[in-house]
Amino acid sequence: MSKIIKKKLKRSLPWLTIITLVSSLAVGLSFNLDFQKLVKTTVQEGGLNLPLNQAQADLATTSVTVQNAPPEITNGPAEDPVSTSTSPINLGDQIGFRATGNDPENNNYYLIVCTTNDVTPGPLGVAPSCGGVQLCVSDLTGDTVEAVCYHTVTDPPAESRDWYGFICDNHASEADCSPANQGSGDSGSPFFINHAPLFDDVNTTVDSQAPGGTFTVVASTTDYDIQGGNDEQHLYVCLTNSWATSTGCAIELCHGTSTAPVDPSCSFSTTTVAVDDTYNYYAFVMDWHNMPSAGNPQTGTYTVINVAPFVTNIILNNSINIQPNLKYAPEYEASSTFQVSDYNSCLDIVSATGTIYWESATNGFNCTADDDDCYQILSTSCAYVSGTCADATDATADYTCTTTIAFHAQPTDALSNQAVTAWFGAASAADELLHSTTSVSSAGVDVATNSGLDVQEPEIAYGAIKGAQNSQDQNGTTTVENYGNSPINVDVSGVNMLRDGGAGTLDVFNQVYGLDPFTYPLASYYLYSTTTQEVDITAPKPVTGATDVEDDIYWGIGIPGGTPSGDYYGSNTIAVRLDGSGW
């Protein structure tokens, strides 16, 4: 019977009406109704009318499964820091990703960033995973709280990389993920990657310079990054192996910039004083995004060459005229002071020599040593002035060369015949490679004229002569030698001869003299006591290598009759006189 009733209901009522009726009965009744039993006992076959308290509808239960809804991204995702083609992330650095999510069931969630639009949520307590390369995944984050994850950029050869951001909740049994989101604007996908420039070698293209010279260093580099324009490359050349992208060299020689593919270069100069040697340097390269090359550092060298020392500030004899002493007296000591400078440092100077010379000497300061006009002073007579060379940063040292001046050195003062000339000092210095240069003093001094003589014989001995007689042709002789550096004549005078032990005088004019032997009284000169007579002897200026310059004066005497016998003594004076016309 129940089957018949159900068929009638099925034919006469739509399913929606049946469900509604059943639902209404279920809600309206406060007791359990056994529908089948009621039908069996109250409903009769044939569709008879039923009482009001009899069921007129069937009952169907309902069911539905409500699944976990995925979270949604309410803010982001975004890069942190933001990368662009002109501001990329350096390979090896970290890039962060940020996003905020909202979950309908307030579930905690993960932020995950993948290289493809492919993500799989994880079971309870397990982070989701990427179907492609996983860039990063955050820690479990509270609902509506911003999630952050970080990726260290490694190895991709491309200059950009796509990324897809997802938020995946941590549902107990039905974890789910938001649709992929690539962000927007500069902070959105892709992120841009900067690669280090390649650095293969470094060369000193301008090398072997003198101290203070300019050296040029060129780095051999390659940079393949072109997004945002070819990369700028920065070259730093350091004296020590100490460099940082933020501060540069600890001790910098130079730095330069170029745009790829042009190799970067820079130039530097040494200090004015630099020891001749080969020096190491360390070269570092980075691009304009402060990305250092893996080839850092490359080492190179530069060479400071040897330069010859030079002489300055030559002062001859302290600017005082040279006063030669007479023959056989200690010779006059003259000096030449000067400064020697070497830009390889004063420590590079090994010796100095000097010259004191008459400016008319043959070949000037290159003259051949000659006591008349050229004094070549060896290094053994040239001394470094202690304390004047401080250290390797000092270029200059003081030196003094000394020598003695011969009595016959060529005079140049107003009394001489060379008054328009002077004496000068020259000096030369040598370094460790025996390079040398010579300089000459700018101001000269005079060698003074010094006239002098020596009478070889201490006495004019006339011998024994009787009264009223004379010396005949038996001449006394005085040899006059020139002891100075000029031609000379002599001034001759005498005094009366007095008798030893008693009265008696021989007047001075009884003596006669001449430059040639004679027979009394046929001499050239009579001796006077009150008048000095100039005698033009032959005594030119002495010169180097010549024999003694001397001339003889011959003497005779007559004894007046009646002159008391005895020994008579007197003196004759032979004084030097410059022979102004005898040069």
Per residue in 68-87, pLDDT (tens digit) is 999 999 999 999 999 999 99
Fold of 310-440: Immunoglobulin-like (2.60.40)
Please check the confidence at residue 39 and state whether its pLDDT lies above 80: no
Confidence bin at 399 (pLDDT 50/70/90): very high
Structure confidence at residue 122 (pLDDT): 94
Structure confidence at residue 442 (pLDDT): 84
Please check the confidence at residue 360 and state whether its pLDDT lies above 50: yes
Question: Of all residues in the chain, what percent are helix, strand and coil, respectively (each to 5)?
Answer: 10, 40, 50
Answer for the pair 460, 444: CB distance below 8 angstroms, yes or no: no
Sorted by where each begins, the domain ranges of the chain are 1-63, 72-194, 198-304, 310-440, 453-578
Please check the confidence at residue 23 and state whether its pLDDT lies above 70: no
Please state which of the four CATH numbers 3.90.320, 2.60.40, 1.10.3470, 3.40.630 is assigned to the domain occupying 453-578.
Answer: 2.60.40
In terms of Cα–Cα distance, which of 125, 94, 99, 103 is closest to 112?
99
Structure confidence at residue 157 (pLDDT): 83
For 1, 14, 17, 494, the CA distances from 5, given in Å and listed in that order, are 6, 15, 16, 194
Structure confidence at residue 411 (pLDDT): 98
Eight-state DSSP code of residue 551 = E
Chain-centroid distance of CA 209 in Å reads 12
Confidence bin at 486 (pLDDT 50/70/90): very high
Asked, as a colleague might, if the bond just before 330 is cis with ω within 30 of 0, I would say no
**Structure tokens given for 115:** 């290289």
Please check the confidence at residue 42 and state whether its pLDDT lies above 90: no
Question: What is the residue-wise DSSP string for 432-459?
Answer: TT--EEEEE-SS-BPBPP---EEES-S-
Report the C-alpha gap between 514 and 270 in whole angstroms: 79
Confidence bin at 45 (pLDDT 50/70/90): very low
Confidence bin at 49 (pLDDT 50/70/90): low
For 372, phi then psi, to 5°, come to -75, -40
Report the C-alpha gap between 139 and 130 in whole angstroms: 15
Confidence bin at 441 (pLDDT 50/70/90): confident
Structure confidence at residue 156 (pLDDT): 80
Structure confidence at residue 37 (pLDDT): 37
* Residues near 53 by beta carbon (within 8 Å), at least 6 away in sequence: none
Structure confidence at residue 35 (pLDDT): 34
Fold of 72-194: Immunoglobulin-like (2.60.40)
In terms of Cα–Cα distance, which of 89, 103, 70, 87 is closest to 150?
89
**Structure tokens given for 563:** 């002159």
Please check the confidence at residue 506 and state whether its pLDDT lies above 60: yes
For 350, phi then psi, to 5°, come to -115, -20
**Structure tokens given for 11:** 């034919």
Answer for the pair 252, 233: CB distance below 8 angstroms, yes or no: no
Confidence bin at 499 (pLDDT 50/70/90): very high
Report the C-alpha gap between 553 and 537 in whole angstroms: 8
Report the C-alpha gap between 59 and 6 in whole angstroms: 11
Structure confidence at residue 32 (pLDDT): 38
Chain-centroid distance of CA 504 in Å reads 95
Q: Can you tell me the mean pLDDT for 165-178?
A: 95
The SS3 of residue 414 is coil
| pLDDT tens by residue, 402-428 | 999 999 999 999 999 999 999 999 999
Report the C-alpha gap between 101 and 113 in whole angstroms: 14
Mean pLDDT of the chain: 90
Structure confidence at residue 28 (pLDDT): 36
Report the C-alpha gap between 235 and 296 in whole angstroms: 10
Structure confidence at residue 55 (pLDDT): 59
Amino acid at 134: Q
Please check the confidence at residue 36 and state whether its pLDDT lies above 70: no
Highest mean pLDDT among 2-6, 26-30, 377-381: 377-381
Domain 198-304 superfamily per CATH? Immunoglobulins (2.60.40.10)
Report the percent of the chain where pLDDT is more than 70. 91
Q: Do domains 72-194 and 453-578 have the same CATH topology?
A: yes
In terms of Cα–Cα distance, which of 572, 562, 574 is closest to 505?
562
Structure confidence at residue 53 (pLDDT): 57
Amino acid at 259: T
Residue that has been written with the tokens 């970080």 in this structure: 150
**Structure tokens given for 265:** 């270069």
| pLDDT tens by residue, 85-135 | 999 999 999 999 999 999 999 999 999 999 999 999 999 989 999 999 999
